[in-house]
Amino acid sequence: MSRRKRIVLLGATGSIGSSTLKVIRSHPGRLQLVGVAAARSSTALANICQEFEVEHAVLTDDSAYAEARHTEAFPEHTRLAGGASALETLALEAKADIVLVATTGTTSLRPALAAIEAGIDIALANKELLVLGGEHVISAAQRKGVRLLPTDSEHNALFQCLGDAPGKEVRKMILTASGGQFRDSAPSKLERVTPEEATCHPNWSMGPKITVDSATMANKGLELIEAHWLFGMEANQLEVVIHPQSIVHSMVEFIDGSILAQLSPPSMTFAIQHCLLYPERQRGTEESLDFRKQMDLSFHPPDPARYPCLGLAQAALAKGGDRPAVFNAANEVAVAAFLEKSIGFLDIPKCIAFTLEHCDDLKTPSLEALFEIDRGARKIAQTYRPRTNFRL
């Protein structure tokens, strides 16, 4: 047996991190966790280091790091570092074979680029990374011969369905969406949706932000942008379909009319295991589908009036330039404000549209310019107020 793959996990204490740990537990002879990172969850991170005998750990929040380094929570065999700069060097110091980016937001863009420059493969479960820096990430990966392995269930499904087929044989890619927890709710109810209601997904166990994104389908918009960069598809080659059961994770339609779909239960362990062990396949971490039992699969197009965030993302992708980065920044601010009960659920797309309208349009931004665009868009989004009566 070949040596174990050395894995660095960014976002180890989140929901995707938890699924990743399940996969590593299931394949101890093939996978070794050598580096982990979290923002503030020092106790949870220390427990992971203890269980997996992790060599390197990072807490990016300075206050959490300062507190943790004066305690005995972390085991002696773990080297603990703090701050954003430590995140950029983690993969190199841990001598990783692959870095799984399981964070939300844009904080992992620089660490991912640093790992790519070092020739380390990336398992990507962070939509925002490619939404903000897609051109730069893809260019760096191609230049260094690094594999970008898509770990989001939808993109992993596309990756598996695509196989070795050249892009010229693909007519379109179809991403499935559950439709979120309010897909069947009366429109009048959406005005009164609470953060507590919006963070309970019917199929998936996810963090608060991405669960709200699922309800608005902003997540599917981000996934369209990510698919554009990962697979070189144009905006008109990417579609979304509502699939409430979350069994078919995505489909590829070829130019001859054939459509291939990837199916598995709604658990992230399937996509994560595929990426961490790629190109090898091994026994699954969880049980798969049982076709001896009755199973219904249904599909229908999303209602643009119910999911305006999806339309805003599609328009941002079609326009290109800095528009996807502005969309992402505004959505993050809007969701945070909603979770803090500063704005209503229906204000989320209004805040995004407001920000897109008030940001300058830059066609070919550099990486540094993108970070500045991200900061500027967040400042504009924070000025949105429901009483401004901004309309989509």
> Which of 122, 150, 178 delimits the end of a domain?
150
CB 325 within 8 A of CB 359: no
Q: Is the pLDDT of residue 367 over 90?
A: no
**pLDDT tens sequence across 15-28:** 899 999 999 999 99
Question: Is residue 102 located within the same domain as residue 143?
Answer: yes
- 211 vs 262, which has greater pLDDT? 262
Question: Is residue 69 located within the same domain as residue 204?
Answer: no
Question: Is residue 56 located within the same domain as residue 163?
Answer: no
Secondary structure class of 247 (helix, strand, coil): coil
**pLDDT tens sequence across 44-54:** 999 999 999 99
Q: In the prediction, which pLDDT does 71 show?
A: 86
Q: Is the pLDDT of residue 389 over 70?
A: no
Burial string for 273-301 (b: 16+ CB within 10 Å, else e) reads bbbbebeeeeebbeeeeeeeeeeeeeeee
Q: In the prediction, which pLDDT does 40 show?
A: 92
**Residue 237 maps to a domain:** yes
Question: Is residue 198 located within the same domain as residue 347?
Answer: yes
Q: What is the CATH number of the domain that holds 66?
A: 3.40.50.720
Tokens of 222: 């981000």
Q: In the prediction, which pLDDT does 166 show?
A: 85
**DSSP single-letter state for residue 217:** T
Q: In the prediction, which pLDDT does 387 show?
A: 64
Beta strands in 264-350 (DSSP E): none
Question: Is residue 171 located within the same domain as residue 198?
Answer: yes
Pairing of β 248-254 and β 31-38? unpaired
**Residue 276 maps to a domain:** no
Q: Count how many domains the chain has.
A: 2
CB 38 within 8 A of CB 48: no
Beta strands in 18-117 (DSSP E): 31-38, 56-59, 79-82, 98-101
Domain that holds residue 12: 5-150
User: Which position has the token pair 């709604």?
Assistant: 266
131 vs 323: CA distance, rounded Å = 9
323-339 and 208-216 are packed helices; what angle lies between their axes, rounded to 10 degrees?
Answer: 110
**pLDDT tens sequence across 211-230:** 999 999 999 999 999 999 99
Confidence of residue 78 (pLDDT cuts 50, 70, 90): very high
Q: In the prediction, which pLDDT does 129 show?
A: 87
Q: In the prediction, which pLDDT does 205 show?
A: 66
* Helices and strands per DSSP (H, E), number in the chain: 16, 11
**Residue 102 maps to a domain:** yes
Among the ranges given (73-77, 125-129, 139-143, 233-237), the one the predictor scored with the smallest mean pLDDT: 125-129
**Residue 279 maps to a domain:** no
**pLDDT tens sequence across 301-316:** 999 999 999 999 999 9
Question: Is residue 84 located within the same domain as residue 222?
Answer: no
Question: Is residue 320 located within the same domain as residue 256?
Answer: yes
Question: Is residue 126 located within the same domain as residue 226?
Answer: no
144 vs 284: CA distance, rounded Å = 31
**pLDDT tens sequence across 115-155:** 999 999 999 998 888 998 999 999 999 999 999 999 999 99
Question: Is residue 35 located within the same domain as residue 141?
Answer: yes
> Which of 101, 122, 150 delimits the end of a domain?
150
Confidence of residue 202 (pLDDT cuts 50, 70, 90): confident
314: nearest Cα among 324, 325, 300, 303: 324
Q: Is the pLDDT of residue 2 over 80?
A: no
Beta strands in 11-66 (DSSP E): 31-38, 56-59
Q: Is the pLDDT of residue 275 over 80?
A: yes
Q: What is the CATH number of the domain that holds 343?
A: 1.10.1740.10
> Which of 150, 172, 188 delimits the end of a domain?
150
Q: Residues 71-76: what's their mean pLDDT?
A: 91
Answer whether the bond into residue 195 is a cis peptide, omega within 30°.
no
Question: Is residue 130 located within the same domain as residue 165?
Answer: no
CB 130 within 8 A of CB 137: yes
CB 384 within 8 A of CB 350: yes
Helix (H) or strand (E) holding 251: strand 248-254
